[in-house]
Chain A
Amino acid sequence: MAHHIHIVKVHHLTLSFPTRKDPNPKPVLDDVDFGIRDGEILGLIGNSGSGKTMTSLAIAGLLPESASIVSGSIKFAGKNLLEMNPKERRAMLGKDIGMIFQEPSTALDPLMTCGKQLEEVLTAHKDSSMTPEDRHKTIISMLGTVGFATPEEICGRYPHQLSGGQRQRVLIAGAALLKPRLLICDEPTSSLDTVTTVSILGLLKDLCHKLHITILFISHDLSAVRGFCDRVMVMKDGKIIDKDTTSDILNNPKNTYTAELLTNARLDTRILGFEPATVDYSRSPVLTANGITAGYGRSLFERVKTKSADNNILHDVSLEVFPNEILGLIGSSGCGKTTLIRSLLGLLPHSGIVNIKSSSIGAIFQDPVSCLNPAHTIKWHMAEALKASDKLKAFAGSGTRAERNSRILARITAVLEECGLGAEYLLRHPKELSGGQRQRVAIAMCLIQEPSLIIADEPFSSLDASSSAELLKLMTDINRERHTAFLLITHNIHIVRQICPRVLVMDNGRICEEGTTSDVLNDPKSDCTSRLLEAERQIHGV
C-alpha cells in the first residue's frame, strides 16, 4: 500500500462495555485498525450492531460513559486522542472534527432557532475577535454554502418549520461551520428519500472538495457509497473484514460477506423469474376512481374559514385497475401516494367517485411491525378477517357450533398454507414472527375475504432482500392463480419493471404519467419520471 498522509489513524482499537457482573464482555470493537487519508471520502459499511457507530464515536470522543477502551490508540493529526483530557477533546469537537447524524428530525433543539443553534458552535469555541455581526455573517455564508437560497430566513426558523432535507443541511452547516478537517457522517441519508439523498450526497462531496474536508461516511447500505466514496471498509461484529476502493468493492467483491451485502442492496428480480398473469384490458375494471380530490383539512372551523384548496394533497386523480392486473404506482415521497390509497380505501373524506366492482378490497401496508395486532394470535386475526367479511356463513355452513368451528379452522389453515405458513403458526403472536411472515399473514387475511383487488402500499420497503423476494413471489402466485388484481405502490423501480405491465407515476398530488411499464420507464415523457429515474440511477446504478 502506498504511503498517504493519514489524518486519523486508529490503531488496534478494542472497546467493550464492562458491567459489574461481566467485567470482560465480548468486545464491541475488536482490534479495529485503519487510517483516514487526508481529503478522501471513506465509507464505513455494516449492518446495525456491527460497531461502525462506536468507531465514529470513539474518534469523536463521544462514547457513552459505560464504554471502556481496552487497548489501542487513536491519533488525530499525530496527537493521541486517548491521552487528552476531556476539555481538550471537547475543544476539538466542532473545530477539528464535525459530526452529523442519522435522524435530522430530532437532532436539532426544537426550542431554538436554527441561527441560534449554529451560533452556539461559534460561541463554544471562544474566538474573541468575533463580534456578533461577524458570527452572523459566518453563519449566513455557511447556510448559503450548504445550498439555502434564503439563508437569512432559515436563520430565524425553528427546526419544525423545516423539511428533513433542510434540517440535514442545517446540521451539515453546523458541522462544517468552523471548517473542521474531519467530518463524520453517521448514516446522514438513511431517513431521507432518494431525491433528497442524492442532493445531500452531492453537497457533502462538494464540501469535501471546496473546503478540503475529509469525510468518514457511515452507512448500512452498500449501494449508497457508489460514486460517492473513494474507499470503503466493511465491518462485521466489531471487526473490519474488508477494505478496498469503491469500484473494487462494488464490482469485484473479494469477501463473501461483502458480496452478500451487495446482493441484498439490489433486489434483483431477474434471477427469480416471476410470472404475472396476463391482463385482458377489454374487461371492465375492478376499480375505477374518478376525479379524486382530498386533503387533510384540520378542524371543521378551519375548513370553513379558509375554504381554499390549499390543503389538498390530491388533485383530480383518476385511475382504473383491471382484473388480473398488477398496476404499479411510483413517485417520490410526499407525492400523495399514501393519501390516494387512503382515499381509495375509504379512510379519508374525498370528493370524486371510487367504484369497486367486487364488494371487498384488501390492503397490505408498509410497516410489518404494526400490520398485525400484537395482542392477538394469528388464528384470531384470520378468524376476525373471516367474521368481518360476508363469507363467514358460506364457509361455516350449518351444523353444531363445533362443526362450524372446525370448518372455519380448516379454511384458515388452508389459506395460511397457501401463503406459506404452516398450522404451527396458528397460535403464535405477531411478535414471534419475522417481518416477512407478518406481511404474509396480512396477505392471508386479505385472501380469506377473497377480494378481487389488493392494494399493497410499499410492502417491501422494510423487508430484507430475501423476504422481499419471497413476498413478491407470493404476490405473483396469487395474481396468477386467483386472478386477484394488485395495486402496488413502491419506490423500487426494479420491481415495477419486473412484474407490472402498466405503471402510473405520481407527482405533487397528480398523476403525471401513465402507460405500459416499458414505455414509461424507457422513454419518460414527464420531468418527474426523469427525475425519479435519474436519482435511482445514481444511487442504485440501474
Chain B
Amino acid sequence: MNRITRFIAIASVFALMVSVLAGCTKKPADANNFAVVGITQEPGIFDPHTVVAAGDEEIIFNIYEGLYKFDNEGNLNPCLATDVEISEDASVYTFKIREGVKFHDGTDLDPIDVVYSLKRAAGLNEGQDGTALVRELDSVKDVQITSDNRVEVTLEESNSELLSYFTTGIIPEGYDNCQNAPVGTGPFKFDSYTPGQSVILVKNDNYWQKGLPYLDKVTFKVCADMDAGLTELANGSIDIFPYLTSDRAKQLDSSKYNILSNGSNMVQIFALNNAVEPLNDLRVRQAINYAINRKDIISVTMDGAGVELTTAMSPAMGSYYDTSLDGTFDQNLEKAKSLMADAGYENGFDITCTVPSSYLIHVNTAVELASELKAIGINLEIKQVDWATWLDTVYTGRQYETTVIALTSTYAPYDVLERYQTESGGNFINYSNSKVDELMARIPGTIDENEKVSLYHQVLGILTDDACSVYIQDPTTITAVSTRLEGYHVYPMYVQDMSQVKLVSN
C-alpha cells in the first residue's frame, strides 16, 4: 500500500516535470486557425505614410491597402480603386473608387478618405508643412473629388511613373493615430504590438474580397537574427520564416517545412564612393568589377541562391532590364591587373569597406570580396558599424570608401534608377554623369512604353560603361513555410501577404 502511494507520488512529480517541459515545447495546435511569421527586424512604425524600413512594410501590407496593389508576380492591380485614367501628358490621374469597402473601424470607404490619405501622404493637408510624407508623392499638386466616385490627382509636372506609388495606404478621413492604432481596409486588423516580441493581427471579417482571409490570427514574431529564427523553426514555434539562406534552409526537416523561393528584386551592390581616391578613377572601378567572381560570392553568401548582376537593375524588372549587358564583367584577373597598372596602382592600395553589421549577407559578401580583391593587390579592410551609424555616415553623410548593401525598390524602374542622378538624395555613391541626368529627366514625361524602355536601357548602359559600382546579385528570397499551411506566395518585395494563406485541408 505504502509502496503504491509512493509510486503515485513519484509518478505525479514526474508528470509535473514533463508537463513543465512540455509547456515550453507546446506546438501550435492544428485546430487553431492561425499562423506565426518570423521576422528579424523589429517593427516600429505602423503609419502607412511615414513607414520607411522595409521590415515595417512587411506587416502593414496586411493592414492597409492602396488604390493599387502589387501581386506576387510584380503586377500592379487595382485594389481600392477599380480603374484609373491617366491624362495624355501623364499629369492628371483619375481614380474610380471601389464601393462597399469597410474600414476596420466599421466605417465605409468614401472618396473623401482617399483625398485625405493622399493629401496626407503628399503633405498637403492643413497643419502639414508641405513636405511629403511619402517622398515620391511630393509632385502631387492637388487631390480632389471630381464626380461622386472619382478622385482626381493633379501633378506639378508630367510623370508616367507614379502609378506604383498609389499603393500607399488609405486611412479614414481625419484619422491621425495610425502609429498606435492602425486602421485600414486590409485583410487583417491590428490587434496588439509587444515591442521586441510580436505584432498580432486578427481577421478582418468585413474584408471586401469575399472569402478572404482564411486565417483568424497572424502573429509576427520578432527573432533576434536568422539563426534564432532557424532554431524556432526547427522547434515548430513559428510557421513561416522568410529571408533564409539556402544552406540554412537545407537544415530543416523537409516533412515539416516547404521551402519556397523567388527573386527578391533587390540589387546587392558593392558601392564604390565615386568621389574618393582612387575610386574616382574609372579604370580602378573597372578593375574591381573584373576582379571579383560573382558566382563565388553568391555561392558563399546565399549558397548559390541568387542571380548574378552586372548592372543596376534586377532581371526581375522584365523588359526594362537590358539583357545585352549580361556577362560584361565576367571575372578576368589579367584584365583587372592591367587596368590597375594603367591607373598607376600595380601594387594595389588599401581601402575600407563600411558594412552594416546587422546584415549578415552583406558582411559575408564583404569578407568574400576582401579575399578576392587580394588577387589584384587591393587590401579591403572591413569596418562593421551598426545600422544607425551606417545610415548616418555612409548613406546620409557619404563619409565612406566602399560599402555593401542591398537596394530595395518597388516595381517601378524609375525608382531603381532615380538615385543615379547627380543631385538625387539617394545618390550615396556620388555618381555624376550629365548624360544620365538628362536621360532620367526625360523619363517621367515619356508616355510611350518602347521609348521608355529604350531610355532605361541607355541609362543602364552608361552606368555599366562607367562601372559606377559593382553590382553583385539579386539574392533569392527563400522562405520556409510549415507544411500545415498552404497558399503562401513569396513576393519579390519586402512584404508578407497573409491573405491567401490557409490551413492544409485533409
- Tell me if chains A and B make direct contact, with any CB pair below 8 A: no
Which residues of A are in contact with B by a Cβ distance under 8 Å? Answer: none
Which residues of B are in contact with A by a Cβ distance under 8 Å? Answer: none
